[in-house]
Structure 1
Amino acid sequence: MMVLITYDVETTTPEGRRRLRRISKHCLNYGQRVQNSVFECLVDPVQYKQLRQKIEAEMDPAKDSLRYYMLGANWKKRVEHVGAKEGYDPEGILLLD
């Protein structure tokens, strides 16, 4: 299933900047950054639960916010890309340098 994860982390303190880096790193382990604080993650239910636990453990709910958009298994019909930064297919071929 495709999950779109967005977050807003308070970064005026060193602790906030550390939370931002850690949340971003966890999201990168499960998906692709498509905007500064937006990730598309193609995960199964177990991976989704693991990712949520990891990033919610990092956040400060009094200062930060997370949003999860469930696009499901039929996500390709729900995502359109226009403009700069070429889109990608997470189910496509992965080329490594």
Structure 2
Amino acid sequence: MDRELTMDLLVTYDVETITPQGQRRLHKVAKICEAYGHRVQKSVFEVVCRETDKLRLVAALNAAIDPLQDSIRIYRLPANALDDVEHLGRPRDVDPRGPLVI
């Protein structure tokens, strides 16, 4: 993947889980995010992708949620922002700059 054509995203979500339908939506949102990036917190993912991948990600997440109850935020980070992250505690299992397979 050409580095200049990629972007760094931070995806966060809050899905209602009181109902069984909400629990299913939460599971679906997590699976979608796992397909595009790697989990850094329970509902936070780092994603390195191209613009077309971002469009697919947004469409899939939009289709998975109930917009009246759930919330997703996608932050586009400045170039090389993940290189400037200070991390304390358990090391990452995945390199966000590694190959992206969708």
Per the shorter chain, which TM-score range?
Answer: 0.7 to 0.9
User: Which residue number in structure 1 is paired with residue 34 of structure 2?
Assistant: 28
Query: Are 2:74 and 1:74 aligned?
Result: no
Q: Is the 8 A contact 1:71 1:78 kept in 2?
A: no
- Percent pairwise identity: 47
Q: Distance in 1 between matches of 2:69 and 2:40?
A: 23
Q: CA deviation at 1:81?
A: 1.0
Structure-1-length-normalised TM-score:
0.86
| Paired position in structure 2 for 1:7 | 13
- Letter of the 1:50 partner, please give it: R
How far does the alpha carbon of each residue in 1:11-49 deviate from its partner, in whole angstroms, 9 at most, with x for none? 000100000011100100000011000011111100001
Separation (CA, whole Å) in 2 of partners of 1:16 and 1:8? 10
Q: Distance in 2 between matches of 1:92 and 1:55?
A: 23
Q: Which runs of 5+ in 2 are unaligned?
A: 1-6
Query: What amino acid is the match of 1:33?
Result: R
Please provide the CA RMSD for this pair.
Answer: 1.8
Secondary structure of 1:50 counterpart = helix
> Which deviations, in whole Å up to 9, do the C-alpha atoms of 1:25-77 show, x marking residues without a partner?
01000000110000111111000010000011111111110011111432234
For residue 32 of structure 1, give the secondary structure of its aligned residue in structure 2. Answer: strand
Alignment coverage as a number of residue pairs: 93
Q: Which runs of 5+ in 1 are unaligned?
A: none
Q: Which residue of 1 aligns with 2:65?
A: 59
* Structure 2 counterpart SS, 1:63: coil
